[in-house]
Amino acid sequence: MPAGSIKRINTILYCRNWDTTVKFYRDVLKLMVNHKTEWLVEFQLVDNAYLSIANAANTSIQSSNGSGITLSFQVENVDVAQRQFREIGIETGPIKPIWGARAFYIFDPEGHRIELWS
């Protein structure tokens, strides 16, 4: 693939707990829905980066049950983000130093690990 030829990025998570996982990304993480079908919801993360939640019951690819996947999101303030998640009842790990930054982890209903850092 020639350098600079990628124009759009979309990560697709195949989920057994599709409805609950879609609600988590829409209602808890407050991601904007860009496109929706009966079995897939695409969220816009930033300019040309997207995250799709696909219903594994309607696809040829099965759920990985969250195994081996980490979504890493840089946030403005990791302390504020952690407090906000805890206030709405989302269990978070402790804030730890990693790679010259500070980060904590949460998990979506399918078991995918989400790293929030600043």
63-79 pLDDT, tens digit each? 888 888 999 999 999 99
To which CATH superfamily is domain 9-117 assigned? 2,3-Dihydroxybiphenyl 1,2-Dioxygenase, domain 1 (3.10.180.10)
Q: For residue 23, give the H/E element and its range.
A: helix 18-23
Question: What is the pLDDT averaged over residues 12-25?
Answer: 96
Given a cut of 90, whether residue 112 has pLDDT beyond it is yes
Q: Mean of the pLDDT values across residues 100-117?
A: 96
User: Helix (H) and strand (E) counts for the chain?
Assistant: 2, 8
53 burial class (0-12, 13-18, 19+ CB within 10 angstroms)?
Answer: buried
**Average per-residue pLDDT for the chain:** 94
Give the per-residue pLDDT at 1.
63
Residues 80, 72 contacting (CB under 8 angstroms) = no
